[in-house]
Structures are given as structure tokens and as C-alpha cells.
Structure 1
Amino acid sequence: MTAARVRAAFADAGVTGTLHVIDLDHPDRQLSVGADVPVVLASVFKVPLLVALHHSAHDLTRRITLGHDRSTGPTGIGGMLDPVTMSLRDLAYLAVTVSDNAAADALVDLIGLDEINHTLHDLGLTRTLVVHRARDFMRTMAEDAAPAEPPAALTDPVVLSRLRALDPDQTNRGTARDLTTLLRHIWQHDDCAPIRHIMARQVWPHRLASGFPFDDVRVAGKTGTLPTTRNEIGVVEYPDGGRYAVAIFTRSASTAFTLPPADAVIGTTARLAIHHLRQPHPR
């Protein structure tokens, strides 16, 4: 059974995981491993954010300035030193391609959490909720780690056990099945074409894309990362026209920040699932 092979791959990589993979053109063909279990989204929440942005009435060419009070982060505007003026669509580009926290939070501040969740509800994502901006992850982790000091505290299992950012009941959450539903919407509607374009240009190749090292297979995705948490959602497109939505969420037993097997298993399990769906008579 392919589901058993997926679970074994997760175990071999030292993680627990949930997975949902669905053939976009034949939705009766799908594979589920814990697909309805609530999970932490981490930066995967930036995909629902972009969907809400494109469903809104905002002019995406509008330019806004992010000053010194913007959210921080290791990539993009979050790591820059001076004020930056940029269009909404370029902020969206940075929020996904390099997971720019400052760009994402500027868009959340503009749209509002209620509007994001209203959009998700309208699309039928009944188990997905966005309650935090990216800056809230860092704030709550610092509060919950106290009196220990990050980042060293974030390798301590006792500290990790009390982080709200790692509890699906207290942070941005969803399910693997909900997120493939969102991907189906993005790939089936012309007004979401800019989101497909952006996701195809994500710079991180070490998770979902690592399972498909072929020049003629296209992968568009968005990662999500927090301590012990490594996720990715995306769509894999084959040269014969086959298109598969993938949502994989993992938690590692190890607290190490760098854990290549935990990253790579996302690509491995996606490939196992899609290979199964591409058989002439998948079960």
C-alpha cells in the first residue's frame, strides 16, 4: 500500500507527517495520510493571504512604503535597512518567492485577518484559520520561551512543548485536504494566474521540488518552517499534462534547525503519492 510506504518514509526521516495529493483533472484520484488532522501552517499561510488579496478590490499596482517599524525576517524587505516603497503585487511576489515576512505582514495589515478568513470560508476551507501575522510567530515564541533566550531555547524540547506557534489550536492552522482544495481553486481560476506564476518562482528547491529533479516536470510551491516544523504545499505538472496538488506537513523528533532528511522526505513522499496516482488504475 502506498500510504504505508509514505508513513514508512516519514518514520525513516525522523518525522511524523500528514499528506494529501490529488489529481487536479481527475479528483477521484487522490491519496490521503492523515489529511484531516489539524496542522500548523507556518509560512504556508502566505498562500491563503495571496488568494484573499486577489479576491479583494485592492489595486495591485498601488504602492505603499514600509518603514523601519516593519516586520523583521531573514529574507527580502524584512532583512533590509532602509524604507522600501513597493506595489502590492511585488509585495505578494516577495512574500512567497523568498517567504518575506515583512512583505506578507504589510499585506495582512492592509487586507485584515477577518477578510482572509472570510475568503477561506467562502472557498469551503472549513478547518483552516489564519489568526497570526508572521511577526506574531516571533513574538509568541519569545514570550513562551521566557526566561530562556532564543534561538538556543528553540532546541530545548521543554521550551518547544509550550510554544503556541507549534500548537494548531493556538496559531495559523489547516489540514492537508483543505490546502489541496485551495490549490485546486488557484489552478482552476484565471484570476489566480498571478499566484501560480509566483509559486512557480519560489527559490527553495530542498523540499517538494527535490522529489522531481527532471527538466520537464514543473513544481510550484510554498514552504513553511518553524522549529521542528517543515511543510510545503504545491502543484507538480508533468509534460503529458498531468497536474497534481500536494500538501505535506511534518514535525520532526529532532530539534535541530538543519535536518536534510526531514526536508527531503517531503519530495520523496510527494513522488511516491503521485507515482501511485499516475498508474492506470490507482486504488
Structure 2
Amino acid sequence: MARIKDAFADAGVTGLLHARDIDSGAELGTGADTLMSTASVHKVCLVSTVFREAAQGRLELTRQVEVAPERRTKGPTGLAVMLDPARLSLRDLAAQTVAVSDNTAADVLWDEVGLETVNRTMAELGLTRTRAVHAMRDLVASMVADAGPAGPAALVEPATVARLRVLDPAHTNHSTARELTALLAAVWRDEVCGGEHGELLRRVLGLQTWSHRLASGFPFDDVQVSGKTGTLPTLRHEVGVVGYPDGGRYAVAVLTRSASTAITLPAADAVIGTAARIAVDALRAGGR
């Protein structure tokens, strides 16, 4: 743990981490039970619920949904930046939600299943400290209100960041590093949903395009990283599963907060991969 804490300190962040061997149950962590605002990491809870609901016959993944331009949630990717009407299936909306962290696609799914269904699913899985408080549109609206008349430009001002409710786990979607790896382990062990639905869920969680955080710690062609980032002012997270060619499977959650309010902090992004690699190497060494 000392190496991980030193890595966080060198990158100018405070960090929470939990890693677990999905098959043996071996685990390690630092600050693993501390509540943290999850930002877009909570989309893993959302899409897991969508596929679980489908597996239980309460939702049809191939059902098409019209997403009109006026229905879209603000965001830098996906449907939010498109100008024309779109029609997608629920499973393709789930793919967009993970692949490019599409806020609009996520909100269509939030509307489909509801916050309480997501929270009930987490409770059924034993994740009692993982809770959704609002959909993405409400998270964005909270930030707009707290930023004030200066708008997004104010989100790099320390005084503005200090009053953002979305950074306080008491007022926003939240979880712990330990519970997030427990969720991922449940997905990979077919405990969220099995059979075809479990395979489809893992496929979706493997679609993320960003490689600058968790995946940066595992730059190998034969190591698969399935992850989901989360980003808010000063917060940079990623949770995911690292799969090795020898069959080893490791769920990792790295949740960080930077001292700097700058938007671009490459070291803060990269330390997520560094810390995850140290943790996974330790688990692999302990298992041999």
C-alpha cells in the first residue's frame, strides 16, 4: 500500500483504491470503504440494472426509442452533440452510455428503469452503500446552479469547486471502492445476470474508448481491460476488470480527487493506471 499512496501523492491527488481477484477472493485496498461521489462511474450500476431487468423478463433490450434533439442532456460526447433525431435500441443506448459516457443515452435508460430500480438492484447484490440520487440531467443542472452566472468557466475556480454539491457524496450518486469492485466481480461471475444477458453486459462494459486512465497501466496486447471512467471538477475515477491470458481476472476501482482544479492534469489521469497495476501485480504475486 505504501507504493500506491506514494504514487497518489506524487500525482497530486488523494486516492481510494480497492482491487480483488474475482476467482480467489483475495483483495487489497486503501480507503476502500470511504464514500465518494461516483460521477459517471455510476453508469455501471445503471447498465447492470438494465441487463438484469432484461434477463428477468421486465425489459426488452431490442426495443427502439426515439431520442429527439430537445430531449438530450448536456455533455461533450454522443447524442448530446448530435443535431438530428435518432432512434436506438435500449442495448445500443447502453453501449453508448459506456463507450463514450453518453449522458443522453444514460438518461434515456434512467427514465426506462428508474432510480429506485437501480438502487434496489444494488441492495439485492448486497451493495448497501451504493446509491443513485439523481440522473445525469439533474447532476448537470446541479453543477449549473452551483457554478452561478459565470457558467462553466467558473468550474476551475477553487471557490466555485468548493460549493459544488456533486462533489459531496451526501448529495449525489455515491459508492465505495470496495462495493464497486464487488459489483464488477458479480457481473463477471454471472451473479447480476447470466447466460446471454451476462455476456452482453460484459461486452458493453468492454466498449469504453478511453485508454488514458486504467488501461494505461496495462499496455499489453494480450491483457483486456474493461472499464468505466467518471469525471467531475477535481474528480477522476475509473473502475474496471483486468483480464490476463492465463485466466486471471481482477476487479479494480480507483477513485481520486486532485488538489488542483485544473481541467487538464495528465499525471492525475495516469496514476489511476499506475495504482491499479501495482495492486493487480500484488494480487498476482500473492496467488503464485
TM range (shorter): over 0.9
Contact 2:144 2:152 in 1 (8 A): no
Deviations 1:124-160, CA, capped at 9 Å, x for gaps: 101110011111122101111224x222210111111
State the TM-score, normalized to the length of structure 2: 0.94
Identity %: 55
Which amino acid is the alignment partner of residue 39 of structure 2?
A: A
Deviations 1:245-277, CA, capped at 9 Å, x for gaps: 001100000111111000000000000001111
Matches within 5 A, 1:7-26: 7-26=5-24
Query: Which residue of the partner structure matches residue 58 of structure 1?
Result: 59
Query: Which residue of the partner structure matches residue 279 of structure 1?
Result: 285
Contact 1:207 1:265 in 2 (8 A): yes
Matches within 5 A, 1:255-270: 255-270=261-276
Aligned mate of 1:212, from 218, 238, 256: 218
Contact 2:234 2:260 in 1 (8 A): yes
Distance 2:242 2:286 in 1: 18
Contact 1:51 1:192 in 2 (8 A): no
Q: Which moves more between the two structures, 195-204 or 38-47?
A: 195-204
Distance 2:286 2:273 in 1: 22
Query: Which residue of the partner structure matches residue 34 of structure 1?
Result: 31
Aligned mate of 2:257, from 251, 257, 260: 251
SS class of match (2:151)? coil
Contact 1:19 1:33 in 2 (8 A): yes
Aligned mate of 1:93, from 92, 95, 100: 95
Aligned mate of 1:6, from 4, 29, 33: 4
SS class of match (1:171)? coil
Distance 2:182 2:284 in 1: 19
Distance 1:110 1:97 in 2: 19
Query: Which residue of the partner structure matches residue 230 of structure 2?
Result: 224
Query: Which residue of the partner structure matches residue 45 of structure 2?
Result: 48
The structural deviation recorded for 1:72 is 2.3
Which amino acid is the alignment partner of residue 259 of structure 1?
A: L
SS class of match (2:17)? strand
Contact 1:236 1:245 in 2 (8 A): yes
Which amino acid is the alignment partner of residue 151 of structure 1?
A: P
1:172 aligns with 2:196: no
Distance 1:139 1:233 in 2: 25
- Spell out structure 1 runs of 4+ moving beyond 3 A: none
Structure 1 unaligned regions, length at least 5: none
The structural deviation recorded for 1:281 is 5.7
**Which has more helix, going by share of residues?**
2
Deviations 1:9-44, CA, capped at 9 Å, x for gaps: 0010000010000001110x1111000000010000
SS class of match (1:220)? strand
The structural deviation recorded for 1:280 is 4.1
Q: Which moves more between the two structures, 72-81 or 213-222?
A: 72-81
Q: Which moves more between the two structures, 239-248 or 136-145?
A: 136-145
Distance 2:278 2:286 in 1: 15
Query: Which residue of the partner structure matches residue 241 of structure 2?
Result: 235
Query: Which residue of the partner structure matches residue 182 of structure 1?
Result: 183
Contact 1:186 1:193 in 2 (8 A): no
Question: Cα RMSD between the aligned structures?
Answer: 1.1
Distance 1:4 1:121 in 2: 33
Which amino acid is the alignment partner of residue 91 of structure 1?
A: L
Distance 1:103 1:10 in 2: 33
